Amino acid sequence: MSDQNDPAAEAAHEKLEEALFEVRRVIAGQQRMLERMLVCLLASGHLLLEGVPGLAKTLAIKSTASVLGGSFARVQFTPDLVPGDLLGTRIFRPDKHEFETELGPVFCNFLLADEINRAPAKVQSALLEVMQERQVTLGPTSHPVPDPFLVMATQNPIESEGTYPLPEAQLDRFMMKVLVDYPSHDEEMTVLARSLEPPPELPRVLELEDLRELRTLVGATYVDPALMTWLVNLATATRKPLERGVPELAPYVAYGASPRGPISAIAAARALAVIRGRDYVLPADVEGVVRDAFRHRLVLSYRAIAEDVTADSLLDQVLEAVPAPEIDLSSAPAAA
């Protein structure tokens, strides 16, 4: 491989940086959240955000939709929500003696599912089905959702009353789970100063067709086989810690990461490489997303919950025990 990046990768980097710059004119801080939103868009995945209210989760996805020119919808999940409120329904028109289909808010490019754990299991399942199948069936007809389609779901970690926690099998459908923390002192000062002025008008930087082309570029990004082996070894260490040199994890992990963990991590790492202006993946790209791809796929034991042991602390131990490989990019295909 040449030492110089592919011109297409450099052009993609410039476009994506411009889009992020415009969103940052509205959102102060939360760099990781903004970058992971783009990663999920480019990798055709969905994002689960966990954080207390007021951390700009809604504003972030709405601003991204403006910059990318897509349609945006927000659904506030509540215990009385039914699947039809989300997906749509068929209504009988007596004057026409026929049914008409009313499509729900899920038919958009960017959907914010606010406090997804406040809706009952039937609504959660309906949303996760359209996330996977990219279509909704109402009566005899299937209706595809727009492309691209990103679901950003939020959870409030400090409230448990009136909530329906997502089962592990449904959590597994999200490509990444990102923990959103409070802004720093300087970032919050910027937020406060911006609240005194009208929000800026965000120009459209990318068209949806540009985003589809960027996805094609992500799909052509080179991944060294050693990185894939490393990811599988990381996942295996969460499942069989006694055999993989991390026996201290055994009392704390009931079930390790599913095969979707490495799949999501490698797809996210390819998208992150494109955002950073490369047509090949480095170990740093994988390490940057592996916690986001794995943390919600670990089922912790009762002992871990009782001792306040987090998935991230366990993943830190796994990453330390299973070191990243050395990559020789000279063997990569010239087209990569």
CA–CA gap between residue 28 and residue 56 (Å, rounded): 9
Please state the pTM of the whole predicted model: 0.88
Query: What residue segments make up the domains of the chain, in order of their start?
Result: 26-195+206-212, 221-321
Asked if residue 61 lies in contact with residue 152, where contact means CB atoms within 8 angstroms, the answer is: yes
Which of 280, 184, 190, 294 lies closest to 249, judged by CA?
A: 294
Res 2: pLDDT: 44
Which of 246, 261, 247 lies closest to 298, judged by CA?
A: 261
221-321 matches 26-195+206-212 in CATH topology: no
* % of the chain with per-residue pLDDT over 70: 95
Which amino acid type is present at position 157?
A: P
CA–CA gap between residue 317 and residue 164 (Å, rounded): 31
Right CATH for 221-321 from 3.40.50.720, 1.10.8.80, 3.40.605.10, 1.20.140.10: 1.10.8.80
Give the mean model confidence (pLDDT) for residues 7-29: 85
Which amino acid type is present at position 138?
A: L
Where residue 51 falls among pLDDT bands split at 50, 70, 90? confident
CA–CA gap between residue 295 and residue 43 (Å, rounded): 18
- Of 111-115, 156-160, 178-182, 256-260, the range with the lowest mean pLDDT is 156-160
Instruction: Indicate whether 78 pLDDT > 80.
Output: yes
Instruction: Indicate whether 334 pLDDT > 70.
Output: no
Res 1: pLDDT: 47
Give the mean model confidence (pLDDT) for residues 202-211: 86
Instruction: Indicate whether 268 pLDDT > 90.
Output: yes
The C-alpha angle 310, 316, 318, rounded to 5 degrees, equals: 110
Res 27: pLDDT: 87
Per CATH, the homologous superfamily of domain 26-195+206-212 is P-loop containing nucleotide triphosphate hydrolases (3.40.50.300)
Please, what is the average pLDDT of the chain? 87
SS (HEC) of the chain: CCCCCCHHHHHHHHHHHHHHHHHHCCCCCCHHHHHHHHHHHHCCCCEEEECCCCCCHHHHHHHHHHHHCCCEEEEECCCCCCHHHHHEEEEEECCCCEEEEEECCCCCCEEEEECHHHCCHHHHHHHHHHHHHCEEEECCEEEECCCCCEEEEEECCCCCCCCCCCCHHHHCCCCEEEECCCCCHHHHHHHHHHCCCCCCCCCCCCCHHHHHHHHHHHHCCECCHHHHHHHHHHHHHHHCCCCCCCHHHCCCEEECCCCHHHHHHHHHHHHHHHHCCCCECCHHHHHHHHHHHHHHHCEECHHHHHCCCCHHHHHHHHHHHCCCCCCCHHHCCCCC
